[in-house]
Structure 1
Amino acid sequence: MTSANTSGNNFNNPSITFDSDGYPVILYDYNSSSQHFIECSKFITSTSFTNIIIYNGGSYAQSNPCAIFVPQSINGLANGRICVAWHGQGASFSGNRIFYSYSDDGGLTWDTAINPIANSGANPSITVNKNNEIFIVYDGFVDTSYDDICMIKNVNNVWSVQIVIALGTTNHKRNPSTLLDMTLNFSEPLLIYKDMQNLKVGFYGTWTVGEGYTLTMENPVTLTDGQQVPIVDFTVKQAETDLTLSDIDTEKFSYEGTNLNTTTASIKVSGKDNKLNSLVYAVA
């Protein structure tokens, strides 16, 4: 994909994701003695990639891009969005800052890179939840003696202030790696990090465990070993009034319709979030 036959010119730290067509987009940092870029190689044909500059750092080093693809089902954009975070230096600040950019056309063009916060940071890991909230977790510097694990989040295109996740008080906490799972609804991403303070891999995050069921037997039965009982995990209503479940067999649930408004019958079917892919119903 890339080649640099000059000593001191290097392509480093690749991060791979995909565009909306499922083709690979590979992001990396390019560094030489005088030039520092964040670039991406976008798949064109089975034997061809095109290299695109995302950010030109000039004489200031840029490093460690982390990229994800957020599909249309999450953000509503026709081609989805490729998001990338990295750390780099600049003329207006000392040390490293977190940078962020995105592409809405599969990696061909990129939005102007920004520093979402003024705090120093390095080694970002980016993820997103099912509500299209973007999270960047990184090495922060709250206490200048040791590195800390910090986070910022983007909700409705507004970036939060820095949030401290794990404070390094006697040694460094570094190199977070976040889970990318867009089926989850979380306020804090699941992540692991290098905990040099406690000589372990740190684990952090919140998630919601399935609700489970409260079962009420309308007609109690005695079961034999291995016998199954159907569970009705949805409700049927008209105008917020429950319809009466009149019969269950191996293929269908039947509800009593004698109390329906025969002029207009607006039926509401509500089900739990489960593995059921589709629901077919008929009114007779």
Structure 2
Amino acid sequence: MSENEQRSAVSVIGLGQMGTRLAQAFLAAGHATAVWNRTAAKADALVAQGAVRAETAEAAITASPLVVVCLPDYATALELLGPVATSLRGRTLVNLTSGTPEEAARMAGWAAGHGADYLDGAAMSGTRLVGRPEALFVFSGSPETFAAHRWVLASLGNATHLGADPALAPVYDTALFGLAWGALAGFYHSAALVGASGVDPSTFAAVATGHMPFVVSLMAEHARQIGDGRFPDDDGTVEVHAAAMRHLLDTSRAGGIGTDVPQLFSDLLDRAATAGHAASGIASVIETIAAGERNA
């Protein structure tokens, strides 16, 4: 092991908002951390906090056995790493750059071709929670590689390994992003609805967050139903929920607010009913979604 490798446990390449938070989390956990960014001044604050400044991307790579890349996209990552790819041999490259499953698979092959182990990953909790246990970071790739570096990656938060296929991280990344936006869109509409009646959003949020454990429990139960392919009506039928959704639409119109969000839900329920699921449990809506344009 070289002198530089002994000095730094991890290197972070790319010091935007997220990359900076990653480096800070590693430092806070006591890991020697080397940092590099094309705009060198972005490393100044981190160096003041104890990071080691790498003068070049190659120096950042050779400084540590674990190299974490956080850049705008895979093309940028390859642009920066390509000229110094030989330096990756024998090291582990962790890519926290957002992209598609296909890009992750290609990047994994590229890294392997240069003798590097590879993990693809995604930060699922924004920047505010980085370094805290509740910050979810998902990784995919070799289980052995993840196990070897888990103690360092756990500095970022809840480091979760999804499986050996490197494409799984971007799949989960986009799926969880959609889940978060679905929940937030529902909240925004609900806050607008109660706001039309003069309810303060924080007052509503206090009640809404208390309701969420029930919603989360539905996810777990409905996942089982989806896996079984059977949709009992314990939580109401598609037909019953469609009627309730029409009530939500009418109430929204009466309150003078937009109906984009409940209209989406209403359309899904109507399509499920048309497809023969009117008397099925509401989780059967997934079959309409999974069928895509065939049921449109």
Under a length normalisation based on structure 2, what TM-score does the superposition of the two structures give?
A: 0.25
